[in-house]
Structure 1
Amino acid sequence: MTEQGVGGSGERVTIRHVAKDAGVSVAAVSKVMRNAYGVSDQLRQKVEASIEKLNYRPSFAARGMRGRTYTIGILVIELTNPFLPPVIESVIGHLSDNGYKALVGVGHSVDQIEASMIEAMIDNRMDGVIVIAPRIGGKFLETFAQQIPIVTIAHHEPNATTYDTVNSDDREGARLAVRAMLDRGYRDIAMVGYDSRAAAATEVARQREAGYLDVMKEAGLERQARILRLPPPGEDRSQVLKAILQTRDRPRAMFVWSDLDAIPFLSTCQSLGIRVPEDIAVIGYDNSPPAAIPLVGLSSVDQNPEEMGRVAADLLLSRMTGRRKTQHVLIKPGVVVRKTI
């Protein structure tokens, strides 16, 4: 017996009876019961009316008897960001050492896709989920975390109560980057970010902007502080990068929010005949593998991705084995100085 209820005839009521009465699929009933993302009000009302009519009650004890599957879902925003593979490999390696296998899904920066993939992981009875750099909002993560253990990476949500978070201390990392510039005598320091007006404070870019502004204010340079905006992720940025470098009041030093844009920034400097660091100093964030190539030599903030992955895996393992107290872990970053500053 997996589900039960008391119908008018005394017959055991199952989820299939509810689906038939409501004229929908079993999967649709399951989504309504899980309060899944994207369920319409019309579907919810139809299913809830059938549940009440049939007096259906799921047997949670029977569900618990199904046992573990020893599979973990990893949901990642994309695979093209060179910072992400070391995080994923660290998570998979640590889970493997503890007897778990991992399945990776890509959300493509679309919240509806991310939500549907987490739902699929729940439906496939995975034991837990690690979500890396989600676009989906905290409200939906809270809902999902009531159904399956969740740990997020690169998602700043220190007030979350149902899931754990692991992050580089992005605000402090930005402070370190700007201080490295100040220590070398640069004063006219701007930041290159992106159009984040629709972004939540949970996103790493917003945290890095706050750190940049912190240090500029500490140094008495708040009036000189500038955040130069690139188009949102996914849009062409080449023309904006050129415009930034060709402006008459071009800053003497640039803190670029991520190596994803810092390396194209260096390439644009080269195409325009702008010398780095003689004409403009540049520091990025992520210390991605391309940054360390001698021809590139990009100074950058290292997030310790291997440690982030290990900690996230440990947190998920402990949550799956009964821990309920939420933990929010910040990994200390560090600056790697190369030839661009």
Structure 2
Amino acid sequence: MSEKITIYDIAKKLNITAATVSRALNNNPRISDTTRKLVMETAASMGYTQNKLALALKSGKSNLVGVIVPYIDTSFFASIIRGIEEALHPEGYNVIICQTHETEAKEIETVNTLLNAQVDGILMSLSKTSKETTHFEHILNKKIPLVFFDRRKNIKGVSSVTIDDFEGGYVATKHLIEQGCKTIAHLSGDWSLEIYKNRSEGYKQALLDHGLKYDEKYLLHVKSDTEAGKSAVDTLMKLDKKPDAIFSSSDFVALGAIQRLQELGIKLPDDFCVVGFSNEPFTQLMELSISSVDQAPHEMGRMAAKVFLDQVSGVGKVKIEQKVELTPHLISRKSSVKPVAKKKAK
């Protein structure tokens, strides 16, 4: 294995000082264009690579941004990451992507790893089990910008980019009411994450605003998977007064609910309507396409990156703490849009 090429090797070959080589490699204005070009070409021919960590320690800037998500293998978070990269790359930043697998211990470990890597900022979505705030305080104490997206904690000085989850729950429920549904169940997630609590509050308010009773027995807390959707339908169908619609805070739960309803011979959307949340790609590809609230993940990612860029470049010009809230949009599809004649008869 060959020895690593250093600036001293380049200096010896060109018969110049190591300091001159270093300045040329770092585009110091004191170095002439001719010398800079010669150094760059020689460095490339000799296979020289700069020590990025050493440069970061010296300059205080690594041009690296850490992005932390619960999982990278979901369409939602993948779209957010794409939006972040598209916004940061033209500004000279590279992205380090990490996942927590929904565990607080992994979240804390990941934050510490990114700090040790001298990142210029951290953009993250909380894990479901995140309770501690010490690791966030550690980030802030180091004067490193922290931006939450989708899932957040309300911490002074920390910016966030989310959608209006209350409005998302409201418009989904309102849509079901407009389809003639009278007894609407809601399948919610863990309220330790405020996104699920806010969606549930929107559901409740829509019912009350349209003269329908809010009854807690139609609100179920479930995991975000298809099996949970199937089990939820089994539970709801044991009630004396069965629901005629479901608003789910997860598309995967909505999918499971639809599968069970179809197994039970219930006709959708004629006799039962379902609306999900997130607008996952599969929702529009199924034979019975699923209505869903779109969270605009790509826009969320780009906006999170913009908030970070504002913080590192707009000192004295912009407010450091920004709370950006995007507007959700309901995508109506077959699972909840009843035939006109049927709807009017209700």
Shorter-chain TM range is 0.7 to 0.9
Partner of 1:102: 95
The 1:307/1:144 distance shift into structure 2, 3 A limit, reads same
The reply to whether residue 300 of structure 1 matches residue 292 of structure 2 is yes
The 1:112/1:234 distance shift into structure 2, 3 A limit, reads farther
Q: Secondary structure at the match of 1:115?
A: helix
The 1:261/1:238 distance shift into structure 2, 3 A limit, reads closer
* Matches of 2:266 and 2:334, distance apart in 1: 15
Partner of 1:117: 110
Q: Secondary structure at the match of 1:83?
A: helix
The 1:301/1:231 distance shift into structure 2, 3 A limit, reads closer
The reply to whether residue 254 of structure 1 matches residue 272 of structure 2 is no
Deviation larger for 81-90 or 117-126: 81-90
The 1:260/1:67 distance shift into structure 2, 3 A limit, reads same
Partner of 1:168: 163
Partner of 2:329: 334
* Matches of 2:263 and 2:199, distance apart in 1: 28
Partner of 2:197: 206
TM-score, with length taken from structure 2:
0.73
The reply to whether residue 219 of structure 1 matches residue 210 of structure 2 is yes
The residue type equivalent to 2:108 in the other structure is: A
Partner of 1:19: none
Deviation at 1:185, TM superposition (A): 1.6
* Matches of 1:266 and 1:145, distance apart in 2: 45
The 1:80/1:247 distance shift into structure 2, 3 A limit, reads farther
Deviation at 1:236, TM superposition (A): 5.5
Deviation at 1:156, TM superposition (A): 4.3
Q: Secondary structure at the match of 1:222?
A: coil
* Matches of 1:300 and 1:188, distance apart in 2: 19
**Contact 1:230–1:237 under 8 Å retained in 2:** no
Deviation at 1:247, TM superposition (A): 2.0
Corresponding pairs, count: 275
Deviation at 1:82, TM superposition (A): 2.5
Deviation at 1:99, TM superposition (A): 1.2
The reply to whether residue 151 of structure 1 matches residue 147 of structure 2 is yes
Deviation at 1:215, TM superposition (A): 1.1
The residue type equivalent to 2:62 in the other structure is: T
Name which one, 1 or 2, has greater alpha-carbon Rg.
2
The superposition leaves residues 99-126 of structure 1 with CA deviations (integer Å, 9 ceiling, x where unpaired) of 1111111100001100110111001101
Deviation at 1:246, TM superposition (A): 3.3
**Contact 1:193–1:227 under 8 Å retained in 2:** no
**Contact 1:152–1:166 under 8 Å retained in 2:** yes
Deviation at 1:240, TM superposition (A): 1.9
Give unmatched runs, 5+ long, in structure 1: 1-62
Deviation at 1:230, TM superposition (A): 4.4
Amino-acid identity (%): 25
* Matches of 1:119 and 1:152, distance apart in 2: 17
Deviation at 1:95, TM superposition (A): 1.0
Deviation at 1:239, TM superposition (A): 5.8
**Contact 2:204–2:214 under 8 Å retained in 1:** no
TM-score, with length taken from structure 1:
0.74
Query: Which of 259, 263, 278 is equivalent to 1:286?
Result: 278
Partner of 2:228: 237
The 1:301/1:232 distance shift into structure 2, 3 A limit, reads closer
The reply to whether residue 181 of structure 1 matches residue 176 of structure 2 is yes
The 1:193/1:227 distance shift into structure 2, 3 A limit, reads farther
The superposition leaves residues 223-273 of structure 1 with CA deviations (integer Å, 9 ceiling, x where unpaired) of 446443244458952662341353243201110111121112212222222
Q: Secondary structure at the match of 1:102?
A: strand
* Correspondence list, 1:35-50, <5 A: none
* Matches of 1:117 and 1:235, distance apart in 2: 29
**Contact 1:274–1:280 under 8 Å retained in 2:** yes
* Matches of 1:138 and 1:333, distance apart in 2: 29
Q: Secondary structure at the match of 2:59?
A: coil
Deviation larger for 274-283 or 114-123: 274-283
The 1:175/1:285 distance shift into structure 2, 3 A limit, reads same
